[in-house]
Amino acid sequence: MVYRFLLLSDEVDNFKREIKIDSEATFLDLHNAILDAVGYTKDQMCSFFICDDDWSKKNEITLVEMDTSSEVDSYIMEDTLIETFVEDEGQRLLYVFDYMTERAFFMELREIIPGKNLTEAICSKSVGQAPPQTIDFTEIDTKATNMDVDENFYGDETFDIDELDKEGFDGFGDEAMNNPYDEDRY
């Protein structure tokens, strides 16, 4: 059987890749096909996540063995066949290609083509530029997060902390007055 996957990005509107791959191929084969289709290098940590219909992550298939607890099953791309986790049209996956920022491609199995086989994966449709593989944090525009912090940042410049006294907290009961951390007690 041949699987036809559609890849989309939430970063680039006109980006689309379609990968056809044999159902008996490994996730490593799919990983390499995706990287070739988008022009990414093969030196970054990546993972596939099998998702439900709401894109909630279920199972993770990692590029290399991760140090996980014995309670969690560990799957490695090289040893895991795609058909082990992907069986139905409409199945959703996430392909996380940038671990530092959790950037990913959204994948969906669009079609199962029975009676055909592929010896290697192919990119059957390529539309638009892929988002950058990694983000250089030094190039992020700090002006977007720059806030004008001055003496008025915390409120009214006429605020006087000495105006607050215990009598100003009416309605909180006597227990508010018996604070064991009260400055006057120490």
Report the pLDDT value the prediction gives residue 77, as an integer from 0 to 100: 96
Of all residues in the chain, the percent with pLDDT exceeding 70 is 70
Q: What mean pLDDT do residues 110-139 have?
A: 90
- Look up residue 95 and give its two tokens: 């392909």
Whole-number average pLDDT of the chain: 82
| Structure-token match 């992907």, residue found | 86
Q: Is the pLDDT assigned to residue 103 strictly greater than 60? A: yes
Q: Are strands 75-76 and 57-62 parallel, antiparallel or unpaired?
A: parallel
Q: What mean pLDDT do residues 39-67 have?
A: 92
Asked if 46 and 95 count as a contact pair (C-beta separation under 8 A), the reply is yes
Which domains does the chain carry?
2-136 (3.10.290.30)
Higher pLDDT, 147 or 85: 85
Q: Is the pLDDT assigned to residue 91 strictly greater than 90? A: yes
- The listed range with the strongest mean pLDDT (56-60, 140-144, 164-168) is 56-60
Q: What mean pLDDT do residues 66-88 have?
A: 84
Confidence tier at 19 by pLDDT (50, 70, 90): very high
Asked if 83 and 109 count as a contact pair (C-beta separation under 8 A), the reply is no
Report the pLDDT value the prediction gives residue 151, as an integer from 0 to 100: 58
What are residue 112's DSSP bridge partners? Answer: 3
Tell me how far apart the terminal alpha carbons of the chain are, to the nearest angstrom.
Answer: 77
Report the pLDDT value the prediction gives residue 165, as an integer from 0 to 100: 55
Q: What mean pLDDT do residues 130-150 have?
A: 65
Q: Is the pLDDT assigned to residue 71 strictly greater than 90? A: no
HSE-up (13 A, CA, CB side) for residue 36: 15
Q: Is the pLDDT assigned to residue 131 strictly greater than 90? A: yes
Report the pLDDT value the prediction gives residue 142, as an integer from 0 to 100: 47
- Look up residue 111 and give its two tokens: 């079609």
Q: Is the pLDDT assigned to residue 38 strictly greater than 60? A: yes
Q: What mean pLDDT do residues 75-81 have?
A: 95
For 116, residues 6+ apart whose C-beta sits below 8 A from its C-beta are 1, 2
